[in-house]
Amino acid sequence: MAEQNIDEPKAAGAAAEWIDGETKVLEAPGDHGAELRLWLRLLTCSTLVETEVRRRLREEFDSTLPRFDLMAQLERASDGMVLGEVSKRMMVSPGNITVLVERLAESGHISRTTSPTDRRVQIIALTPFGRTEFEKMAAAHAGWIADLFGGLSTKDGAVLLDELAKLKRSIVGSLGKAGRPA
Amino acid sequence: MAEQNIDEPKAAGAAAEWIDGETKVLEAPGDHGAELRLWLRLLTCSTLVETEVRRRLREEFDSTLPRFDLMAQLERASDGMVLGEVSKRMMVSPGNITVLVERLAESGHISRTTSPTDRRVQIIALTPFGRTEFEKMAAAHAGWIADLFGGLSTKDGAVLLDELAKLKRSIVGSLGKAGRPA
DNA sequence: ACAAATAACTTTAAGCTTGAAGTTTTTCGA
DNA sequence: TCGAAAAACTTCAAGCTTAAAGTTATTTGT
């Protein structure tokens, strides 16, 4: 493991590391080591937080992150939201939403109606029960995140937020270039 | 696959946003808005990259990220690696590895042997075929990441790497505090 | 008006992932 | 030594996720 002060980030995409080893560094073709290290570290942070959030949602609320996210989308839409819109906002496939909605409707957290003006469209909304439950979860969630990120100074937080904005522009720019449908 | 909106970061954990809305900002209890925004942005970057990597692994190599990661772990271990060690390094459950190993063994990418000294232990290693395949994928992967992160200046990359190190310390510190087993 | 295209889901098949429970081996302690 | 405990998986049930194919409903082009 390279000389990093914090210990090994090995998760998904971890092919990164082999550039670190003295063995491979010699033959590095375009030397993408810096980017790989960055990606690996980003992924590690993200995975650590996500794993912890999942764990606590399960243990403290017997729920899951996807369900929480779906309810979060609905929280601000008091009139409900079209299924396709939820899918886009959550960046997941429509089929996925269908399944989640089924479960959340069964458990009484959300309601689902067919649009009166377009019978293809499904409108989903939090039920009062769902809203109450979500508010409890959201408050707890905010606390967890605050704890996990709390070791960062205000300044570091601001810098990180800014650098991540730049990174996002880089990513989106790169994705846009290759003629993938927007 | 739904075309996902790139602009708004709404993915997993997105309860964040409701602090942004004028509605909620008034009653923010401990005001964890800064941390939530940071988390949301981090997650967005990570998700965008991961989704793209998965897509390309599938389209260009008919493979998956978990398989790639598993092979990446083996790449540097020419003598093979114990299954439990792989599980720890990849930060996933042992049962998960069992399944992945089965598939990769079937396809001839890895070999699997029972340790001669301890018959509980499974040792897995890349086959020559697996190694060749992995090297192709790894080279492509490094290029994808370089593209995605390439819009970042060297300076920004360095700053981001540093801030992420601080963040990771914050996270790990926070996780450590609550007496969860390491 | 009406057929073709488009939209908005839903269904399906396949793969990933986990926590919990189960199996086989080793190790440890009295 | 020998039985209990621990280790290292494996199996299982459930849930998430996606791409692709299928349905039903609405729009469009002519």
What residue type is assigned to position A113 of the chain?
Answer: T
CA distances to A21, B113, B125 from B79, rounded to whole Å, are: 16, 11, 7
| Segment (H or E) for B111 | strand B110-114
Query: Shortest Cα distance from A124 to chain B (angstroms)?
Result: 17
Which domains are delineated in chain A? 1-62 (no CATH), 64-142 (1.10.10.10)
| Coil, helix or strand at residue B136 | helix
Q: How far apart are CA B153 and CA A58, in angstroms?
A: 40
Protein residue at shortest CA distance from C1' of C26: B118
Cβ of A79 under 8 Å from any chain B Cβ? no
Give pLDDT tens digits along chain A (182 positions). Answer: 222 223 333 344 443 333 333 333 333 456 778 899 999 999 999 999 999 999 999 999 999 999 999 999 999 898 999 999 999 999 999 999 999 999 999 999 999 999 999 999 999 999 999 999 999 999 999 999 999 999 999 999 999 999 999 999 999 999 887 555 44
- Cβ atoms A42, B46 nearer than 8 A: yes
Q: How far apart are CA A97 and CA A77, in angstroms?
A: 17
Q: How far apart are CA B27 and CA B138, in angstroms?
A: 49
Confidence of residue B177 (pLDDT cuts 50, 70, 90): confident
Residues of chain A with Cβ-Cβ distance to B145 below 8 Å are 13, 16, 32, 35-36, 39
Q: Which of A69, A67, A157 is nearest to B31 (CA)?
A: A157
| Strand A110-114 with A81-82, pairing | unpaired
CA distances to A6, A7, A180, B72, B96 from B89, rounded to whole Å, are: 14, 11, 34, 11, 13
